[in-house]
Amino acid sequence: MKELLVTVCKQNHINLLITNNSCSDLVIPRRSHLGVLSTLSSLVETIPTSENKLVNSCSDVNVETNKIGDKNKTEDLCDNPWEPLSHLNPSQQEKVKKLLRANSEVFSRSDDDVGFIPDLQLDISLKDDIPVKQSYISIPAPLYVEVKDYITNLIAKGFIRKSKSSYSSPLVCVRKKNGELRLCVDYRKINQKSVIDSSPLPRIQDALDSLRGSRYFSLCDQGKAYHQGVMPEGSKPYTAFVTPWGHYSWDRIPFGLSGAPCAF
């Protein structure tokens, strides 16, 4: 039960709406402590204006998309590179800009600018057919609106969809180093039941040894790497997660699945 505004009825009775989000019936004993009641000192009415628009559903959300390699983005990348070029002379700066201009299509400009690799797929195989069913974890009140907007954005981008899967894993809120919100799904129960791919991952020491004798090396970070891959139809139900606003499953590869590194 979240925070809400109630009216005290006759005989000091209050009507409360309680939601059971578990998979079984619950019995609330008589005289159970359900919350804390406090009086409201003032109430400010919200007056809607023509500038405010209420979004009733995800279908009302418009997502602006741009072609990655267009001229404006290329010029923006060259004029405002991620790292300053002031330590280079004009000739060297021009060489760097020429390199960026020639490869502008491979760079992501924002969190909404995510690539798509149709051949990158994660097929999940489980040891048994017993569904994992977990209820959602309560969202902290200060993050409620932010998390809901995050979910709405994932739907609008086609990363997740409404689901009727018999599986459900809880959602976890995580803050990245830069302060931005990242939503992760606690897939530990699914991972325990998963048949792990035996494909060997590259050893870090072997990667370092391959640099022997080199003077310079470049480092590229693939933005939202897992989200660039897709989930096969048969594996999507296993990715289902539950939130206060509904049940969803992933169309793109999510973070947290044990088989994702091998697939990638």
- Spatial strand order of the sheet with 160-162 comes to 160-162, 246-250, 241-243, 169-175, 181-185
pLDDT of residue 126: 93
pLDDT of residue 48: 47
What is the pTM assigned to this prediction? Answer: 0.61
pLDDT, one tens digit for every residue, the chain (264 residues): 556 677 777 666 777 777 776 656 677 777 677 777 776 655 555 444 444 444 444 444 444 444 444 555 555 666 666 667 888 888 988 888 888 888 877 777 777 778 888 888 989 999 999 999 998 888 888 888 899 998 999 999 899 999 999 999 999 888 878 888 888 899 999 999 999 877 777 788 998 888 888 887 777 777 777 888 899 999 999 999 999 889 999 999 998 898 888 887
Measured CA distances, 109 to 81, 118, 226 (Å):
11, 21, 17
How far apart, in whole angstroms, are the C-alpha atoms of residue 187 and residue 171? 9
Residue 263: strand, helix, or coil:
helix
Q: What are phi and psi of 213, to 5 degrees?
A: 90, -5
pLDDT of residue 67: 45
Contacts of 202 (CB under 8 A, 6+ apart): none
How far apart, in whole angstroms, are the C-alpha atoms of residue 59 and residue 155? 9
The closest of 207, 188, 160 to 258, measured between CA atoms, is 188
How far apart, in whole angstroms, are the C-alpha atoms of residue 237 and residue 18? 28
Measured CA distances, 168 to 26, 131, 132 (Å):
19, 8, 6
Give the DSSP H/E element, type plus range, for residue 102: helix 90-102
